[in-house]
Amino acid sequence: MEGRMPDLPSHRGIHAGIPPLTLALIYIGAVVLPLALAALLGETHRQVTVQLGAAAGSISAAMILLQMISSGRFEAVSGRIGIDITMAFHKWAAPMALAFALAHVALLIGLPDPDRPNRLARRFATLMTAERLWDARLALILLALLVGLALLRDRLPVRYQIWRGSHALGALALVGLVLAHLVTDGLLGPARAALWTGFAAAVTLPALWVYARRLTRPRSECWTVASLRRVTPRIHEMLLENPHGDSLDFRPGQFVWASVGGQRLPLHDHPFSIASAPGAPQLRLLIQEAGDFTSSLDAVEPGTRVAIDGPHGSFGPSDAPRDGLVLIAGGVGIAPILSMLETFARDGCACRLRFAYAMHDSRDMIPAAMFRPALATLGVTPLLTASRNAGGEIAQGRLGEAQMKLLLDGLDPKRVEVMICGPGPLMTTLTDTLNDLGVPLSHIHYERFSYGSGPLSRKDHRIMAGFATIFAALAAAMALYSLV
Ligand X SMILES: Cc1cc2nc3c(=O)[nH]c(=O)nc-3n(C[C@H](O)[C@H](O)[C@H](O)COP(=O)(O)OP(=O)(O)OC[C@H]3O[C@@H](n4cnc5c(N)ncnc54)[C@H](O)[C@@H]3O)c2cc1C
Nearer to ligand X, 241 or 309 (CB): 309
Question: Among residues 199 and 357, whose Cβ is nearest to ligand X?
Answer: 357
CB of 258 to ligand X, least distance (A): 9
Restricting to residues 133-162, name those near ligand X by CB under 6 A: 154, 160
Stretch that binds ligand X, among 11-19, 52-60, 270-278, 388-396 (CB under 6 A): 270-278
Among 391, 452, 465, 483, binds ligand X (CB under 6 A): 452
Rule CB under 6 A: is residue 481 a binding residue for ligand X?
A: no
Nearest position to ligand X, beta carbon: 291
- Residue 341 interacts with ligand X (CB under 6 A): yes or no: no
Q: Is 198 in the site for ligand X (CB under 6 A)?
A: no
Which residues have C-beta within 8 Å of that of residue 259, sequence separation ≥ 6? 214, 266, 268, 269, 270, 306, 307, 309
Using CB under 6 A as the binding rule, whether residue 258 contacts ligand X is answered as no
Q: Which is nearer to ligand X, 138 or 168 (CB)?
A: 168
Single residue of 103, 332, 345, 470 touching ligand X by CB under 6 A? 332
Output the smallest distance, CB 157 to ligand X, in A: 12
**Stretch of residues binding ligand X (CB under 6 A), selected from 119-127, 406-414, 448-456, 475-483:** 448-456
Q: What's the rounded Cα separation, in Å, for the pair 265 and 193?
A: 34
Type of residue found at 194: A
CB of 92 to ligand X, least distance (A): 17
Size of the site for ligand X (CB under 6 A): 25
Q: How far is the CB of 378 from ligand X (least distance, A)?
A: 22
Give the rounded distance of the alpha carbon of 403 from its chain centre: 29
- 102 vs 168 by CB, closer to ligand X: 168
Site string for ligand X, 279-318 (x = CB under 6 A): -------xxx-xxxxx------------------x-----
Least Cβ distance, residue 154 to ligand X (angstroms): 6
Q: Computed from CA positions of residues 319, 324, 327, 328, in that sequence, does the dihedral angle turn out positive or negative?
A: negative
Pick the binder of ligand X from 196, 255, 355, 481 (CB under 6 A): 255
CB of 274 to ligand X, least distance (A): 8
Instruction: Pick one of 126, 442, 450, 453: the residue that binds ligand X (CB under 6 A).
Output: 450
- Beta bridge pairs of residue 445: 419
User: Considering only 5-13, 271-279, 427-435, 453-461, which stretch makes contact with ligand X by CB under 6 A?
Assistant: 271-279
User: Alpha-carbon dihedral of residues 312, 316, 319, 324, nearest 10 degrees?
Assistant: 180
Residue 110 or 316 with smaller CB distance to ligand X? 316
Q: Restricting to residues 80-99, name those near ligand X by CB under 6 A.
A: 83
Q: Using alpha carbons only, how large is the chain's radius of gyration in Å?
A: 25
> Under the criterion CB under 6 A, does residue 453 sit at the interface with ligand X?
no
Of residues 273 and 385, the one with the C-beta less far from ligand X: 273
Q: How far is the CB of 296 from ligand X (least distance, A)?
A: 8
Minimum CB separation of residue 159 from ligand X in Å reads 6
Contact 329, 337 (CB under 8 A): yes
Least gap, CB of 261 to ligand X (angstroms): 13
Nearest approach, Cβ of 428 to ligand X (angstroms)? 16
For ligand X, the binding residue among 165, 170, 206, 271 (CB under 6 A) is 271
Q: Which residues from 167-196 bind ligand X, rule CB under 6 A? A: none
Give me the residues that bind ligand X (CB under 6 A), please. 83, 154, 160, 255, 269-273, 286-288, 290-294, 313, 332, 335, 447, 449-452
